[in-house]
Amino acid sequence: MKKVIVVSIMVLLGLVLTACGGVTNPASEAPLPATSESAPNAVALTQVSDEAMVTVEVTPLNLADATPTSLDFEIAMNTHSVDLSYDLAKIAVLRSDAGEEVQPVKWDGPTSGGHNVRGRLSFPPLKDRGKSLTLIVRGIADVPERNFTWSVSD
């Protein structure tokens, strides 16, 4: 009798773990191609917000470039319970501590939802980057704001 209970629990646990994996879009899971902009210490620059059952991970791709044609961020959103149907170009802003704020020019990622979303968010260059930049993403899983701040050189 104990064996039947143990086997039943193991099968049930396997089904739950499989269900939590969910169906994903392989294109949204693929890593972004490496570019000359990517820094070897990009992982050290990665910041994470884990609120309301959604993890948002942001990695700046070219902050070290003093005169970029765009400021780019790799963004990954992951959850097991919330639909991630967000167009980050509509809910994000980039702000410098010098007071300048810009809207994204492009979200190169899915907007159709799912539980695992990855893409690149691009902003126009700022006239005055100041000493720090803050990426603000609003309204993911009813969290009013998620803030990600990095120090930059003048």
Domains of the chain: 39-151 (2.60.40.1630)
**The pLDDT value given to residue 50:** 96
pTM for this entry: 0.72
Report the distance separating Cα 133 and Cα 136, nearest Å: 10
Q: What are 110-149's pLDDT values in tens digits?
A: 888 889 999 999 999 999 889 999 999 999 999 999 999 9
131 in Cβ contact with 154 (< 8 Å): yes
